[in-house]
């Protein structure tokens, strides 16, 4: 039933009080048995007849002057009774919820069947029907004061800035031709090559590997940049030299037709280039950043690395505290809240995919949605349990927000959402909820004990994250680290 719309259209004014019996049901539902007074059933029936009499057109009678008996004969007594029951259910359910002071979440379910109601309905006699509504869940929280947890400490590596700058130098390097020495690791070489199968089967023997031939192919001689056998085979070669290099494809090679097979590559080295790195000075700093001097760039990078480490360590603390808190909470979640959370997750996933340039319509089809919702359900339940537990902590500890906090965060989000349609009330509701949860986490941290361990010492149980956020699809990428050869069209290089 479209309750809200029908209630507006068919408003039944009744002074008689209903008898409402409540029953607690699983999944945070309340069962209602509602007895509609005799006077109310009579009023509803008479009102439906009057409305039909004014609106129904029957040949031979003026509109609004159709006798009751004729009206019942033409429309059928059951149809009139059904219309009266519909009006009674809509208005009575709303009135019962208000009368019993139930904080309903909006998911109303009629548990009485229409057939049963039609059989028992008699104008002027009481009518009893049953329904259920979702209500906010009761959060049962154990002892949360003084949580003792372990988290990982993140420290900035002493050489982090130097390593970063060296990587940028390599990126800015100039390739200079070399003729006076053989190829060595770190060089960039240009080669022609042809790969042929050997020894695996008579059918393959000597045949060219599919897409295993290239000309003027550029390879960087570095670990993980290409097939290791070929890299080692090129090292020591001189320009214009030819060489046959035996290659065994790894068993886990991405292309199954090649995995584990033996081959030989005929390689012609055409050119050697070495990387000439720029000087690490102020000019370099200006080239790779908006800083004027190398000293300024170093200071900025050190600060950035430290902030990142602090954020990572704080995230580890918060995760440990929340996991410990979730062990203390019991909550029976209503389907209404789970459905709302699922919708939020899928919406956020669609936005992220769209920002990545992916085709959202291709994935979010009518056929795929049920599966996506089912895969996202555990994440939705976990998110709700976490949110409700933190809100319960905030409630019990009387944590409050300053108006200035809410306003500042709202303004920050409004800037991020510039150009998008935003509901101010919903934004404020989100901000308040989010800030309260952050305060609850801070309270847990201040009133708990956190043992910091070196990064990597805490072993987390591996779970198959069927991420809808982002685990709704599997993206296959082929890069240099995969050691896949794609020739001659797409050279494999980093």
Q: Give the Å distances, CA to CA, from 278 to 65, 126, 263, 283, 387.
A: 99, 92, 40, 9, 51
pLDDT digits (tens, 9 = 90+) for 397-426: 999 999 999 999 999 988 888 777 888 888
Q: What percent of the chain has pLDDT over 70?
A: 87
Contact in structure between 368 and 468 (CB atoms under 8 Å): no
Contact in structure between 36 and 128 (CB atoms under 8 Å): yes
Environment class of 119 (CB within 10 Å of its CB; exposed 0-12, middle 13-18, buried 19+): exposed
Q: How far is the C-alpha of 98 from the C-alpha of 429, rounded, in Å?
A: 24
pLDDT of residue 493: 35
Contact in structure between 130 and 112 (CB atoms under 8 Å): yes
What residues contact 194, with CB distance under 8 A and at least 6 apart? 208, 212, 213, 265, 266
SS3 labels along 354-408: HHCCCCHHHHCCCCCHHHHHHHHHHHHHHHHHHHHHHHHHHHHCCCCCCHHHHHH
Q: How far is the C-alpha of 383 from the C-alpha of 341, rounded, in Å?
A: 8
End-to-end CA distance of the chain: 60
SS3 labels along 176-226: EEECCCCCCCCCEEEEEEEEEECCCCCCCCCCEEEEEEEEEEEEECCCCCC
Q: Give the Å distances, CA to CA, from 433 to 125, 394, 450, 490.
A: 48, 10, 25, 50
Strand partners, 29: 25, 134
pLDDT of residue 200: 61
pLDDT of residue 162: 96
Residues of the chain with pLDDT under 70: 1-16, 60, 62-65, 199-204, 459-494
Tell me how crowded residue 346 is: count the other CB atoms within 10 A of its CB. 19
pLDDT of residue 61: 73
Longest dimension (CA), the chain: 113
pLDDT of residue 359: 83
CA 346 vs. chain centroid, Å, equals 6
Q: How far is the C-alpha of 328 from the C-alpha of 65, rounded, in Å?
A: 69
Backbone angles phi, psi at 217, to 5 degrees: -95, 125
């Amino acid at each position: 039933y479209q309750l809200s719309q029908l209630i507006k259209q068919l408003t039944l004014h009744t002074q008689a009080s209903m008898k409402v019996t409540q029953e607690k049901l699983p999944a945070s539902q309340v069962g209602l048995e509602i007895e509609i007074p005799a006077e109310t059933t009579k009023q509803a029936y008479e009102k439906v007849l009057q409305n039909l009499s004014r609106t129904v057109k029957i040949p031979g009678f003026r509109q609004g002057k159709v006798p009751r008996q004729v009206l019942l004969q033409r429309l059928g007594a059951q149809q009139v009774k059904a219309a009266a029951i519909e009006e009674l259910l809509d208005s009575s359910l709303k009135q019962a919820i208000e009368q019993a002071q139930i904080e309903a979440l909006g998911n109303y379910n009629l548990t009485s069947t229409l057939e049963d109601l039609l059989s028992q309905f008699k104008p002027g006699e009481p009518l009893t029907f049953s329904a259920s509504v979702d209500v906010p869940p009761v959060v049962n929280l154990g002892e949360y004061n003084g949580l003792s947890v372990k988290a990982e400490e993140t420290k900035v590596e002493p050489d982090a800035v130097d390593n970063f700058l060296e990587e940028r130098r390599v990126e800015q390097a100039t390739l200079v031709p070399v003729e006076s020495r053989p190829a060595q690791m770190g060089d960039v070489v240009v080669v022609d090559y042809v790969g042929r199968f050997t020894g695996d089967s008579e059918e393959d023997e000597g045949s060219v590997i599919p897409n295993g031939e290239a000309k003027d192919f550029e390879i960087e001689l570095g670990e993980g940049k290409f097939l290791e056998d070929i890299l080692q085979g090129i090292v020591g070669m001189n320009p214009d030299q030819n060489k046959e290099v035996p290659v065994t494809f790894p068993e886990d090679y991405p292309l199954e037709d090649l995995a584990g097979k033996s081959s030989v590559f005929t390689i012609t080295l055409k050119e050697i280039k070495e990387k000439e790195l720029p000087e690490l000075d102020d000019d370099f700093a200006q080239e790779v950043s908006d800083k004027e001097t190398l000293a300024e760039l170093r200071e900025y990078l050190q600060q950035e690395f430290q902030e990142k480490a602090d954020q990572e360590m704080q995230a580890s603390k918060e995760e440990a505290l929340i996991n410990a808190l979730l062990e203390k909470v019991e909550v029976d979640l209503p389907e209404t809240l789970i459905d709302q959370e699922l919708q939020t997750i899928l919406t956020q996933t669609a936005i992220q995919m769209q920002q990545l340039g992916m085709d959202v319509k291709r994935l979010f089809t009518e056929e795929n949605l049920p599966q996506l919702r089912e895969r996202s359900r555990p994440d939705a339940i976990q998110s709700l349990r976490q949110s409700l537990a933190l809100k319960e902590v905030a409630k019990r500890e009387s944590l409050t927000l300053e108006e200035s906090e809410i306003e500042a965060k709202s303004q920050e989000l409004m800037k991020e959402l510039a150009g998008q349609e935003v509901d101010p009330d919903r934004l404020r509701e989100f901000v308040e909820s989010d800030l309260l949860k952050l305060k609850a986490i801070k309270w847990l941290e201040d009133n708990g004990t956190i043992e910091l361990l070196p990064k990597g010492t805490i072993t987390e149980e591996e779970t198959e994250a069927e991420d809808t956020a982002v685990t709704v699809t599997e993206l296959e990428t082929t890069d240099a680290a995969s050691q896949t050869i794609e020739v001659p069209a797409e050279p494999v290089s980093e």
